[in-house]
Structure 1
């Protein structure tokens, strides 16, 4: 559903506005210098801090801010959902959060992720083989969007061929936040109904997958309720696809638009692990959200209970008070304490997986297409909302 265009970002911002999706950086720069915490009455009232310091303060304050829902919409979930929230552990508050996160850490350990690298690399090459011979390749549609779908589907024990359905859930949950409440509910019910048979099947016949692992887990001696497992699996499915798809696409888009950086990575492949940290910083895809738990004043702003607060980690990564030459992409930047994976206790549990997928995707793309450029910069469309990435970046590849 289309919303009214923004006329004043300081008093009426909308993170789903097309201008935000296309180029949010000037918006954040202007706000940071003139009104570092913006306010809007949209979505029932929301705040937007733009400095690294303010974003960090909120991310680390579970006393005044709850995570029970992290996607801003016009509909607030019931207070009674806390401390687990809609999709634990990302929506969980203390003390429930620590236990719900701890269950997932073995799945996303560096050792476990390393085991996934060969199959991920093989799949990247399979995708690249499928587009060889073309003059123009859509780096997202033909490549980036498929990689995390395959990886996360196999980790969860879901069928690869349902990728289109997964991407539909991503769009419905993350991008369609302005849709009517009934349509939002229908999307969430669709995800629940899709996942439930797989939960039931693993209860009867456990497999070597994350669904089975969660069904065998407990919190404080109590086994997980199947509905809790569904909500956690839904989180892993949506977050595991959209964030990584966006990061891979943005990285290829940058290299296509910046020949010097492309040539440097082709000539210095050992620099890729360092470079991806900078690409994550510069084009961090994820903005999270909190709800004010109890009235609090931040940076002189009186935030009231049940107000939304966006946590734009991408804006924090562009704060010149925290990063030198914040608006420049420096492939060898080090140290690089970026916030692309979040800040505080909710820092992304799947960061090792995302890094592996991004690194392997770039290594294999650069090996297959060392010479490429944007075919049509005006044709690039970026997704709006709380996960930003290029959805249609046409890239011209040299024969």
Structure 2
């Protein structure tokens, strides 16, 4: 079968060039006795409240160590996180999800999900391809539809006293926006959630099961690509199919990998940021009431929510054996870049452990640091702002129905997964 573009035949092996090799069936979860010597970001206590753990590590062991995942490090000071994020000579981005396997070094500099998995100099050119779709002007055109969708979600709450602000509101907003940008069927939203959970929360699955789940993601993407080849339209998928780099069309693995990145990262990060912001407002009446009374303060408050509840942690791989800031790092050791920990470093932020919704100086790292700073930051800010504006306009009074019923995702993207709130 052909589609008019031989790159994307049904048997397109190149789509899976990022398939992980050398995986080991290591168990990486289990009780932690000493977070400085055996950290694990997959544990329930980390998911529930990582900040006291990070604060303790920052005081007594700023760069924690673990033998799980085949060996890794966790810096908790802003200056260390920033230094590693900017150092592309000694740290590789060829895998950004810490798990029980490492992609072979030959996957650099492209990586499986470019440009976030790409090292310089390829990274710069792969990133530049995406910039036109994520300018303020381009994102501004998405705002009316996003606002209308938020209103439609809240219309669905009519007659109810208790709703799940994460499951019934926050998660759906980025799913719809990303589906529209990529030209995917909006009714496929539940599948997007499944892909997110498989990729970011399934790192301890048996290798065969993890591979099967990743194959399901790329099978879906290949079906969408073939449909776009046969029926081109004005969206980001068609743009990637037709884009050129170094005088030729993008490789199938590049197209599919970038689509996977936009689908996974574009959904989970914003879903988590919206949910965490609503969680804070539900449990902090003074901040909620102030924002309802002073809506002009919301953009400033939103940046504080991003700082205090930064959802994203990224991984790097050490390129060669070295001693770095007192840590004897080995080639292919993981580095877990905790932007949430950096954002709560008291050496960088005054009252770092407090949520100060009128904080004036706020150079947070929620969108990352260095060359890999999030290309979709304008999109995420728009979605977060509109989601909060519409919610506070339509639901000015709300509180946690049961604080103990709130659950948070484990892994490298942290946000509420269940958030029951009482309206009124």
Q: What's the TM-score bracket when you normalise by the shorter of the two chains?
A: over 0.9
1:374 is aligned, of 387, 400, 417, to: 400
Alpha-carbon distance in structure 2 between the residues aligned to 1:204 and 1:194: 16
Alignment of 1:63 with 2:94, yes or no, is no
Alpha-carbon distance in structure 2 between the residues aligned to 1:2 and 1:306: 17
Alignment of 1:15 with 2:34, yes or no, is no
Cα drift, residue 294 of structure 1? 1.3
Give the paired residue count.
398
Cα drift, residue 203 of structure 1? 2.4
1:298 is aligned, of 311, 324, 338, to: 324
Aligned to 1:96: 122
Cα drift, residue 308 of structure 1? 0.5
Aligned to 1:132: 158
Larger deviation, residues 11-20 vs 294-303: 294-303
> What SS does the aligned partner of 2:130 have?
coil
2:250 is aligned, of 224, 230, 243, to: 224
Q: Deviations for 1:345-392, whole angstroms, at most 9, x for unmatched residues?
A: 000000000000000000000011111111100110000000000100
Aligned to 2:389: 363
Cα drift, residue 187 of structure 1? 1.5
Query: How do residues 34-53 of structure 1 correspond to structure 2 at under 5 angstroms?
Result: 34-53=60-79
Alignment of 1:392 with 2:418, yes or no, is yes
Alignment of 1:286 with 2:312, yes or no, is yes
Does the CA-based 8 Å contact 2:322-2:328 persist in structure 1?
Answer: yes
Aligned to 1:85: 111
Cα drift, residue 201 of structure 1? 2.3
1:325 is aligned, of 331, 337, 351, to: 351
Alpha-carbon distance in structure 2 between the residues aligned to 1:352 and 1:188: 28
Alpha-carbon distance in structure 2 between the residues aligned to 1:5 and 1:32: 21
> What SS does the aligned partner of 1:103 have?
helix
Query: How do residues 332-347 of structure 1 correspond to structure 2 at under 5 angstroms?
Result: 332-347=358-373
Alpha-carbon distance in structure 2 between the residues aligned to 1:42 and 1:207: 46
Does the CA-based 8 Å contact 1:294-1:304 persist in structure 2?
Answer: yes
Query: How do residues 127-276 of structure 1 correspond to structure 2 at under 5 angstroms?
Result: 127-276=153-302
Q: Which runs of 5+ in 1 are unaligned?
A: none
Cα drift, residue 2 of structure 1? 8.2
Aligned to 2:100: 74
Instruction: Provide TM-score, normalisation by structure 1.
Output: 0.98
Alpha-carbon distance in structure 2 between the residues aligned to 1:57 and 1:202: 41
1:311 is aligned, of 337, 340, 343, to: 337
Does the CA-based 8 Å contact 2:174-2:266 persist in structure 1?
Answer: yes
Alpha-carbon distance in structure 1 between the residues aligned to 2:95 and 2:68: 17
- Structure 1 outlier segments of 4+, above 4 Å: none
Q: Deviations for 1:239-261, whole angstroms, at most 9, x for unmatched residues?
A: 00000000000000000000000
Does the CA-based 8 Å contact 2:28-2:69 persist in structure 1?
Answer: no
Alpha-carbon distance in structure 2 between the residues aligned to 1:109 and 1:332: 26
Instruction: Provide TM-score, normalisation by structure 2.
Output: 0.93
Alpha-carbon distance in structure 2 between the residues aligned to 1:173 and 1:44: 19
Does the CA-based 8 Å contact 1:64-1:295 persist in structure 2?
Answer: no
